[in-house]
Structure 1
Amino acid sequence: MSKNDIEPISGPIWPLAPQPQGDLALAGDWGQRSYGIGSGFGDLNLSTILRIASEWRWLILGAAAVAIAVAIVVTFLTTPQYRATAVLELNPPAVEILEDSMTKSGGNNDQQYLSTQYGLLASKSLAERVAQEMNLASNESFVSAEADRATRVKIATAILSSNFEVSPVQGSRLVRISYSSPSPDLAARITNSFADNFINANLERRYEASSYARQFLERQIATIKGDLEKSERELVAYAQRQSIINTGASQGQPGQGGGAGSDTASIQGASLLAMNQALAVAQARRIAAEQRYRQMSSASTTAEITASTAPMRQWRAQLEAEYQNKLSSFKPDYPDMVRLRNQIEALDQQIKREAGTVAGGNNASLLAEFQAAAAEERSLQERVEQLKSTVLNLRGRSIQYNILQREVDTNRSLYDALLQRYKEIGVAGGVGTNTVSVVDPAEPPGGPYKPNLVLNVLIGLLVGVLGGMGAALALEFVNDTIKTPDDVRDKLRLPSLGVIPKKTSEEALADELKEQTSPISEAYFSLRTSLQFTTETGAPKSLLITSTRAAEGKSSTTLALAQNFARLGNSVLLIDADLRKPAFVTGVDPNEGLSKLLTNSDPVQNHVLKTQVENLSLVPCGPIPPNPAELLASPRLKAIISEAMNHYDMVIVDGPPVLGLADAPLLSGVCRGTLLVVESGKTRTKAAVDAVNRLKAAGSHIVGAVLTKFRHQAHGYGYGYGYEPYKYGGIGSREREIKLVAQREG
């Protein structure tokens, strides 16, 4: 190779498929923005989970493999367990304690009964009964013989309870009971013992319930009998004190006619009833006699009275006519007028006497009959009034009597009912349909039900996948790096101008960029297009390309962009401004380059080298100075960039990393735009944020960021990648060099 050849390189480039980015607007105020670890991780969605699962697939697969291995080992080390099952039928009880109180199965009562039976099946008392019935406390294969008898019984009971299961059959009164044991025969015997002891316990409870009911009824009967006798004595004593005598009607039921609550139940009441009836008869006789008397008086004597008094009536009429005739001439007090009035009145008296004499002879007998009937009626009326007073007095005294009578009747009814129920309990106590029956007894199982290898492997797989995914999420949360274009926008608040995929082949970058259909070439084409839309006039005329730390693909991006813009026909000048560890080295005299231009007033063209790429020129680094920051801080740098912009369509500056050095901020201040290169999955968010803040503090215009070394499936995570300032090294410390064929202009 001739001395005019240049061999530059950057480290490997990681990326995503080419993807144009349109979000070019800067957002947020970085001077005031606070940053927290894991910011942006809260937007957890399906795509994020799939991405994390793909990135950490080996961790998840490893966790699943370990979990499956553990499940297999546990399966083979676990003692086989045999489970015997019996089926029981539960029916609600049909024996009632009190009359008309039979419980009908169904509804809430049926469900409550079944739930109670399930609880009794799983009770500790039933397990203890089985342990004692099978004498498991003395079985050394079941319980260790070191403890005393009581302790062994407790241990056996605990073992039975822990291995016994009750499983109701939904929608029925059937229940499955099962017991698990290393011995199939023992499992079947214990299950059947549970069923038998449960049936026996139910029968004993029913017998005890009947016995309790009899004892309860006996006590109640004795109490009610004493109350009945006491109330009867009080009733008789009160009747004697108050002289209350009831007729036979008083034996009727209370509240009915003629009963103890009726006025006719007493002698006085009965007499009043009889006298009322007699008074009604007397009133009827008196009314009949009076009617006959009046009819006879008005009908038979009218004609006789008229014939006897006719002359007197005629005379009276004449006097009345004369009186009326003179009244028009004389006043009523005139003597003749007074005399005529006295004569008329005398005739009226005489006519009445004559009529009475005629009528009295015919009605004498009827009048006597009428008067006798009226006298009898008055006598009976007086007697009735006396009896009314007596009955009302008796009614007041009978209030307490009726109260005592009702108490006697109530006690007698309770006594008769309890006595009848006691007889029924005595005859039917403990007899009836059993509420529990065995449908299918337990038989020794043909094989173990656990451990189940397939189930354990599936559980292990599920646990491993979930555990691996949880670990991946935790590591993703803890590993605070820029991984995706969304992180660039959300965490750095910069436009994501492009995503460069990771270079997978061993081919040199320069050779891969020649293949314009390769993913990396397409990604850089997309980045070039995005840069052309960052300003109103297109891509920035002077562009600084820098990164947060070393080995993020900064120099590779610089070369790719320079070549792409040169292919468009633009004259491009590439300036290697990394005065500490330059990326572009040449075989020419190292005294030519940027470091020399910064220390003299030579024209820029004197230090420009042609490359093998058409329209692309290079200003190399030149001799590595002892004080790069001081050189870059001189006004000469701005003059060099301005002179280069006058001769070339575009000036691309390859700068050093930002953190730990003052070089990149100084360079960004004299360039019209700055492009930040971020390595996917390696650049820490906090470091990138600090780099952006430093660049903005220097007055640079950050047009956006490009994500390099991006992989679809996974991102390489790690720690300790921070840039070490002041130990940047020389040319020989680079892993690779980017070679350009350089020719001196002119």
Structure 2
Amino acid sequence: MNDKEIQKATDNKQIKPFGEGHMLWVPPGYEVVTEAPAPAETQTHLWDYIWLLWNRRWMVALVFLLCAGAATLKMLRATPIYEAGAKLQIERDAPKIVAFEGNDTALSSNNGAGFVETQIQILQSRTLARQVVEQLNLFAGRKAAVAEGPDVLDAFGVKDYVKSFVEGVADPIPTEGSAEDRQMQYRIAAFLASLGIARIKDTGIVYVSYRSPDPQQCADVANALCDAYIRWNYQTKSESYAYAQKWVDQNLYEAKAKLEKSEEDLYKYAGSEQVLVLADNMEGLTKNYEATRQELAIAERALREREFELKALEENKTPEPLIEETRLKGLREQLAAVNMKYDQALLTFGTEMNEVKVLKTERDHLAALITEEEKNVATLRQQQRDRALAEARLAYERAVSSRDSLKQHADAQQKQLVDLQQRLVQYNILKREVEVNRSIYNSLLESSRQVGVTSSLKAGNVAVVERAERPLAPKLPNKPRGIALGAFLGLFLGVGLVFFLEYMDQSVKTTEEVQRLTQLAPLGMVPHVGPAKRGAGAVAPERLTEAQPTSIMAESIRSLRTALQYSRPGRAPQTLLVTSSLPGEGKTTVATNLAIAYAQRGLKSILIDADLQKPGIHKIFPESSCEVGLTEILTGTKTTHVNVKTSIPNLSVLTSGSRPPNPADLLDSRVMRDLLALLSEKFDRIIIDSAPVLHLAAPTVLMPLVDGVVLVAQPGKTPRGALRRLSDKLRTLGLHEKVLGVVMNNARGRFAGEGRGYGYGYEYGYGYGYGAKGGNGLALPGNGNGKGNGRHNGNGNGKVTANVNSTSPSR
């Protein structure tokens, strides 16, 4: 591109200045990104787990082989265990021993739903176990077990897989008692440990099994236990019938005595109280009492009527008018007529007329008659009232007397009836007692006969459906299953151990994680290079870029150099400080190879060892070691020329020199600032290897003096907390903006492969020219479709070309 084309592209904003003496070509539609992108939200992918397992595959394989081998050895060395079983049919049998009318009582308590389960517990009882052990003389001669106590199962030869069948059936092994008793308890415990009792689902059949190294013993023990259970069942029934017979006979005797006593009491009471004679007259007495009650009701009604009449007379109420009252009424009517005539005559004729005088005389006469008649009527009325009152009182007294007489008679009859009823009630009580005692006696008598008949039959409810036979093949161990289970367990434990170690690992794994913790841009990733990749000479990794310029590590260092070239807008950083959070993360390796890469680019570079506590540059470049170091220069003890040449063109090295007592004070001095200013005039690039930031104060002292800081972290080693504390410390000191980014060093396995999209795919189809100044520029390799050295196939979005317009080394 000539000057006119450059000017035209500049006017169209297609060429932008970037750094001193550099012009960066930007195609249309593209922008230059000068700041670190925000960290992307990472999501766990299936490949992450695959790479995690692949990275620790030897651990998984080791655990798998150990478990599978142990299981195989266990199966091969295990003693064959045989199992034989018999089948018992157990039916619910609850015969009626004592039966009353309306109430059935059985002597068996196993009428519930758990009858078969109860019989299983009986089969597992120590009583039957003792019988079988003594009958077959099982586990005899194991005297050592008596002293060993809790290890008796092993002493008897019962292996661990037999113990799993105990499940709480056997009681704890005793530690007290005589030696014979303890030995018998141990033998019973060992027997129960090998015994298996199970109910066949939805049936009344129980499967009795026994396991032992002796196949014949398995069958003998199972059959012996079935026989012992049948004998126990038969004996239990016999004892039950005998007890029932005894109980019935005893209660029958008591019931007979009670019956006789109740009958005697009934007869005595009936004779002494004449209940039977009175009972015959009960109906007549009842009828008489009812008739008396009716007469009493009539008398009470008549008494109320007499009482009403008496009250009416006492209140001056005459029931009938007198005849004299009728005559008196006629006289009053005549007097009224005469008065009317007299009044008319008086008005017509006056008082002197004879007619008037005659009428007056007649009126006076009638008035005298009326007065006399009224006196007669009053006298007669009083006489009539007195006579009526006397008659009414007499009738009332008669009614009261009649009522009282009937009431006394009714009360006497009622008392007689009540007394008779009480006698009958007591009689009926004694009679019912006789009937109940007779019923009990008859029932017990019948039950006594039934018990005798039933006990003579002695029918059992247990039968052997299938007897145990000698097994032909061992039951345990199941070798294929055991080996497969061991292999599966080993694989499970191995994978679980890998994920557990990964969970416990607090180190960073990916660049996204580092970016999220520090808010710093990733500058690149330096892969791990083992001795096999370094060649026959076993070159140290600190100078691998010099010894093997075409290696993957050298290429990653050059990618880091390119990233640093464009890490700051306007000007590439000249003075770089390489540090880390903790020791051992490879900051010296990165600093050394970066200095070599700058020198190979043709830039005059110097590498300064500022790690005054633990220097290492003098070991990497022994040819450059001298008595004059950074310490001597800063303290002014020696003024020898400091530009120490190396075997690498364009590269000088300044070692640390002697160890000072106060490294931070020396590095924070004016002499250090003057030294860096002097070196900036003489060199194109100054690379400073510093101490770790979290442990020492020297790096934070140097950071304000440099153009940029490169942090080194190692995936799988650098703790997340260390990076977090480092970021907080830099922000607190205001030095966070000085950091250009983070380099992931010594990335192994999934950290350097495709784990989350990081890999190195390069096409080595071009030549390398190192140390030549000038030229028309260098085409930088992008993320093209090259053949990757790992599992990464990068599909880049384009190619970036840097054109150097000057013939002098670029800063």
Q: With structure 1 as the length reference, what TM-score do the two structures score?
A: 0.61
In the alignment, which of 479, 486, 491 is matched to residue 453 of structure 1? 479
- Counterpart CA distance in 2 for 1:219 and 1:559 is 113
In the alignment, which of 114, 121, 124 is matched to residue 122 of structure 1? 124
Report the CA distance shift for 1:635/1:664 in structure 2 as closer, same or farther (over 3 A). Answer: same
TM-aligned CA deviation for residue 69 of structure 1: 2.5
- What residue ranges of structure 1 are gaps of 5+ in the alignment? 1-19, 26-43, 249-264, 287-311, 349-374, 716-738
* CA contact 1:323–1:340 (8 Å) conserved in 2: no
- Counterpart CA distance in 1 for 2:570 and 2:237 is 100
Report the CA distance shift for 1:338/1:49 in structure 2 as closer, same or farther (over 3 A). Answer: farther
- Counterpart CA distance in 2 for 1:88 and 1:523 is 83
Does 1:709 find its partner at 2:746?
yes
- Counterpart CA distance in 1 for 2:557 and 2:217 is 73
**Structure with greater contact order relative to length (CA < 8 Å, sep ≥ 6):** 1
- What residue ranges of structure 2 are gaps of 5+ in the alignment? 1-34, 144-154, 158-177, 300-321, 340-362, 382-400, 753-768, 775-807
Corresponding residue number in structure 1 for 2:590: 557
TM-aligned CA deviation for residue 618 of structure 1: 4.6
Corresponding residue number in structure 1 for 2:467: 441
Question: What are the Cα deviations for residues 534-574 of structure 1, in whole angstroms up to 9, with x where unaligned?
Answer: x999997744212466663324433666799999x998956
* CA contact 2:82–2:476 (8 Å) conserved in 1: yes
Say how many residue pairs are matched: 606
Question: What are the Cα deviations for residues 181-203 of structure 1, in whole angstroms up to 9, with x where unaligned?
Answer: 22322212221222232233223
Does 1:482 find its partner at 2:507?
yes
TM-aligned CA deviation for residue 138 of structure 1: 7.4
> Any idea what SS the aligned residue of 1:620 has?
strand
Residue identity matched to 2:288: M
Identity %: 24
TM-aligned CA deviation for residue 637 of structure 1: 2.0
Does 1:620 find its partner at 2:653?
yes
* CA contact 1:56–1:714 (8 Å) conserved in 2: no
Question: What are the Cα deviations for residues 469-514 of structure 1, in whole angstroms up to 9, with x where unaligned?
Answer: 6766787788x77353499769987868465432353367428996
* CA contact 2:88–2:466 (8 Å) conserved in 1: yes
Q: With structure 2 as the length reference, what TM-score do the two structures score?
A: 0.57
In the alignment, which of 500, 506, 509 is matched to residue 534 of structure 2? 506
TM-aligned CA deviation for residue 577 of structure 1: 2.8
TM-aligned CA deviation for residue 55 of structure 1: 4.8
* CA contact 2:623–2:646 (8 Å) conserved in 1: no
* CA contact 1:678–1:708 (8 Å) conserved in 2: yes
TM-aligned CA deviation for residue 711 of structure 1: 2.6
Corresponding residue number in structure 2 for 1:577: 609
> Any idea what SS the aligned residue of 1:172 has?
coil
> Any idea what SS the aligned residue of 2:211 has?
strand
Corresponding residue number in structure 2 for 1:638: 673
Corresponding residue number in structure 1 for 2:369: 336
TM-aligned CA deviation for residue 275 of structure 1: 1.7
Corresponding residue number in structure 2 for 1:41: none
> Any idea what SS the aligned residue of 1:576 has?
strand
- Report 1:78-89 matches (<5 A): 78-89=78-89
Residue identity matched to 1:581: G
Report the CA distance shift for 1:383/1:560 in structure 2 as closer, same or farther (over 3 A). Answer: same
Report the CA distance shift for 1:167/1:644 in structure 2 as closer, same or farther (over 3 A). Answer: farther
Report the CA distance shift for 1:345/1:694 in structure 2 as closer, same or farther (over 3 A). Answer: closer
- Counterpart CA distance in 2 for 1:380 and 1:197 is 88
Report the CA distance shift for 1:455/1:377 in structure 2 as closer, same or farther (over 3 A). Answer: same
- Counterpart CA distance in 2 for 1:209 and 1:399 is 43
* CA contact 1:543–1:651 (8 Å) conserved in 2: yes
> Any idea what SS the aligned residue of 2:206 has?
strand
- Report 1:188-337 matches (<5 A): 188-231=219-262, 244-247=273-276, 266=279, 269-276=282-289, 321=330, 324-326=333-335, 334-337=367-370
Question: What are the Cα deviations for residues 690-721 of structure 1, in whole angstroms up to 9, with x where unaligned?
Answer: 98999899985484654422334699xxxxxx
* CA contact 1:482–1:488 (8 Å) conserved in 2: no
TM-aligned CA deviation for residue 447 of structure 1: 0.5
- Counterpart CA distance in 2 for 1:268 and 1:673 is 138
Question: What are the Cα deviations for residues 598-624 of structure 1, in whole angstroms up to 9, with x where unaligned?
Answer: 5699999x8899987xxxx65522684
Residue identity matched to 2:745: T
**What is the RMSD of the two structures over their aligned residues, measured on CA atoms?**
6.2
In the alignment, which of 90, 94, 113 is matched to residue 115 of structure 2? 113
Corresponding residue number in structure 2 for 1:546: 579
- Counterpart CA distance in 2 for 1:414 and 1:547 is 105
Bigger mean CA deviation after superposition, 337-346 or 500-509: 337-346
TM-aligned CA deviation for residue 388 of structure 1: 0.9
* CA contact 2:526–2:747 (8 Å) conserved in 1: yes
- Counterpart CA distance in 1 for 2:70 and 2:276 is 99
Does 1:426 find its partner at 2:455?
no
* CA contact 1:592–1:607 (8 Å) conserved in 2: no
Does 1:90 find its partner at 2:115?
no
- Counterpart CA distance in 2 for 1:549 and 1:344 is 153
TM-aligned CA deviation for residue 86 of structure 1: 2.2
Report the CA distance shift for 1:555/1:316 in structure 2 as closer, same or farther (over 3 A). Answer: closer
Residue identity matched to 2:705: V
Residue identity matched to 2:748: R
* CA contact 1:127–1:194 (8 Å) conserved in 2: yes
Question: What are the Cα deviations for residues 269-320 of structure 1, in whole angstroms up to 9, with x where unaligned?
Answer: 444214246669999999xxxxxxxxxxxxxxxxxxxxxxxxx99x998886
Question: What are the Cα deviations for residues 428-476 of structure 1, in whole angstroms up to 9, with x where unaligned?
Answer: 3475874333333222222111122212212332444455567667877
- Counterpart CA distance in 1 for 2:365 and 2:214 is 148
